[in-house]
Chain A
Amino acid sequence: MATAVTFTNKPEELFVDKHVKYIQSLDTRKDELEYWLTEHLRLNGVYWGLTALHLLGRPDALPRDETIKFVQSCQHENGGFGAHPSHDAHLLYTLSAIQILAMIDALDAVDTEACAAYVAGLQKPSGVFAGDEWGEEDTRFVYTALQTLKILNKLDRVDVEKAVDFVLRCQNYDGGFGVVPGAESHSGQIFTCVGVLSMTNNLDRMTPASRDQLAGWLAQRQLPNGGLNGRPEKLEDVCYSWWVLSSLAMLGKLHWIDQNKLVGWILSCQDEVRGGLADRKGDAVDVFHTVFGLAGLSLVGWGGLKEVDPIYCMPVETTKRLFGPK
């Protein structure tokens, strides 16, 4: 399936039309095994593609009715959503389903009451959420649970304070956050933890010194070539343009990294012929790295892209409609 990628040698240009075409093409690749092997991610994939299209200013590039129908078909009797009709419900796909519907203003198309009950049922006595019936616990699931409920305006269904306490227990000696208390700091987990604190107006539960230490750790993720990594001593990767940048944005410290260098590095990961972005130059493009590369560019104010909300990873147009202006 590895189609040759033509990386751009013009890292000052964003190939908007190519990226739109690339995302539109994803649902027509049913003759490729890859399409079937990624079925367990389909609802995430629709969310990634749709968010990218919104940021590119082409919100109507996917057929709205079909999108709604597909999301509806993924809801289970228990209220949660699976990645695909034949896959079990899980918080990761439940949030994607609700985000998709929020972006296209169609939340009334599904049973939101059942959905909120499903999410609330996954909170554990410690405040954390399990991802599904199998009980895996992770700060990612606290984020997905709370954002889902916040969009549905049903945060009162869970114990927000306990969830926040759990998240705070995951902060490490280096300032970062991990998957559970004691687990190594990781930029992806930091995004979810800072996201929880931001969306519940609890950022001040961290001391100013601790916020600075965290932002300093995040700024350390920038490598000399401009790219960002997820942990010390790891390779740079386009998706961290989102996890690291959005966290810095929530902390008000975007300017602590060299944004121009990062922009050039992200742009160099574009396929200028078929569209899409790769995790780094030399690898195959995919929709995951495409949306997070674009979202990163949007955060640093790249002209021509719609503004993205660092807390919710949806267009600001959507979050304003949902939550009112900040």
Chain B
Amino acid sequence: MASYSSEEEEEEELDYTNDPVWADVTPLPQDDGHNPLAQIAYSPEYTIAMSYLRAIMAANDHSPRVLNLTSDIIGMNAAHYTVWGYRFKTLMSLDRSQTLEDEKIGWSWRQELEWVQSIAKRYEKNYQIWHHRQLIIDHLDDPTGERAVTGEMFALDSKNYHVWTYRQWLVQRFQLFDEEELAATASLLEEDVRNNSAWNHRYFIVLGRLGEAGPEEGVVERESELAKEAISKAPQNPSAWNYLKAVLRKGGIELATLKPFCESFAPILSPDEIKSSHALDILSEIYDEAGDSVKAEKALELLASKFDPVRKNYWRYRRRLLGSKPTPASDTPTIQATA
């Protein structure tokens, strides 16, 4: 395992035409009515590998050499979903016949996972990789080291949607709603307080799976403190505000308790000192609930005219809703001319 290097693997080129391993396979060229010469003129390596794949798949061949062939193709085109499926089928077939961990073929599930990770780092936008990994970990029934693997990916892009989806699957599948998970989100938020993915994940692990019982004592306080601290660092960060509101709702705490906190970011009588449109937004709700329609209107007018004019129609709609909580006001579009 220690000597395994993904970089070396990338350099290694397969020689299908001369290597005896492939001697019994007659490559199948592309046949969809198009002239196959054009593609051969362009990329001989990809075309040759694909023609061997077609032959192998036609023969339903799941021998160890399929691993080399499919890794060659995936290295050139990681989004080729059919190749991933065929590779997994082959791995499972080798696993069943107990040849996978055999020294002769020199490949193990561990090596597979390391190879997958090297591909994931090269093709960050690819999602087939993560489903492949999920199938393997599900089969092995062991999440050891997997959180570290996603952690490595977050170091490259802490908002990678596919990696987050995989991480949530992992937490759900192996019930990892624990301190380590909590600490991981805290440290990602420490690095970037605007990371919406990390906020979402924190909600998922802390509050997402609760039933009717509601959160344990102290949790709501702890989480709202975390959000408030984040807001103090970046008052215009919608993720932390959304989290704060959601935590209070989950804890059955009234929005009105946020009034002093919001007013410290948005004193509506001194518009020049307003630091957060999100605070204004919440204040309009709080004032409205308290029956203070003058202040509520003022907050929404400030949003429409000064702090968020791009969405002025939205804020005007909210103004029409004031005092009529249960039934929404009519919302006829104002005319917006386009060409």
Contacts and interface: CB of A to CB of B under 8 A. Distances in A.
Given A33-B42, A173-B246, A183-B164, A220 B238 contact: yes
Contact of B333 (A31, A40, A90, A255): A255
A147 B41 CA distance: 40
Interface stretch (B18-26, B60-68, B197-205, B267-275): B197-205
Contacts of A263: 338-339
Contacts of A208: 327-328
Nearest to B36: A30
B147 interface: no
B334 A255 contact: yes
B54 A256 contact: no
Contacts of B39: 30, 35-36
Contacts of A84: 32
Contacts of A136: 131
Interface string A211-224: 01001100110101
User: For chain B, what secondary structure do more than half of its interface residues adopt (helix, strand, loop), or is it mixed?
Assistant: helix
A238 B43 CA distance: 31
Nearest to B198: A184
Contacts of A90: 81
A182 B242 contact: no
Interface in A216-239: 216, 219-220, 222, 224, 231-234
Interface string B98-126: 00000000000000000000000000000
A30 B208 contact: no
Contact of B338 (A36, A252, A300): A300
B336 A259 contact: yes
A256 B238 contact: no
A180 interface: yes
B161 A184 contact: yes
Interface string B239-268: 100110110011000000000000000000
A180 B238 contact: no
A37 B194 CA distance: 36
Interface string A90-130: 10000000000000000000000000000000000000000
Contacts of A300: 336, 338
A79 B42 CA distance: 34
Given A40-B79, A90-B81, A184-B200, A32 B338 contact: no
B306 interface: no
Nearest to B84: A134
A260 B336 contact: yes
Contacts of B238: 220, 232
B164 A32 contact: no
Contacts of B46: 33, 36-37
Nearest to A134: B85
A252 B249 CA distance: 27
Interface string A298-309: 001111000000
Contacts of B196: 184, 231-233
A257 B312 CA distance: 8
A301 B238 CA distance: 31
A37 B77 contact: yes
A234 B250 CA distance: 27
A224 B310 contact: yes
B47 interface: yes
Give the interface size class of chain A: 35 or more
A154 interface: no
B338 A88 contact: no
Contacts of A256: 311, 313-314, 317
B331 interface: yes
Which of B41, B77, B250, B310: most chain A Cβ within 10 A? B310
Contacts of A86: 30, 32, 54, 82
B97 interface: no
Contacts of B34: 30
Contact of B311 (A31, A133, A222): A222
A78 B88 CA distance: 20
B156 interface: no
B35 interface: yes
A219 B311 contact: yes
B161 A88 contact: no
Contacts of B79: 40-41
Which of B47, B76, B168: most chain A Cβ within 10 A? B168
B310 A222 contact: yes
Interface string A168-212: 000011100011101111100000000000000000000011001
Interface of B: 30, 32, 34-35, 38-39, 41-43, 46-47, 50, 54, 76-77, 79-82, 85, 88, 131, 135, 159, 161, 164-165, 168-169, 172, 194-197, 200-201, 203-204, 208-209, 238-239, 242-243, 245-246, 249-250, 310-311, 313-314, 317, 327-328, 331, 333-334, 336-339
Interface of A: 12, 30-33, 35-37, 39-41, 70, 73, 82-88, 90, 132-136, 172-174, 178-180, 182-186, 208-209, 212, 215-216, 219-220, 222, 224, 231-234, 252-261, 263, 300-303
Given A33-B46, A174-B242, A260-B337, 10 more contacts: A73-B32, A83-B81, A173-B203, A174-B246, A224-B310, A254-B333, A255-B334, A258-B310, A260-B336, A302-B338
Question: Which 3 A/B pairs are nearest by Cβ-Cβ distance?
Answer: A173-B246, A255-B333, A184-B200
17 contacts: A30-B39, A31-B38, A31-B42, A36-B39, A36-B50, A73-B32, A88-B82, A136-B131, A173-B250, A179-B165, A182-B209, A185-B200, A255-B313, A255-B334, A258-B310, A260-B338, A263-B338
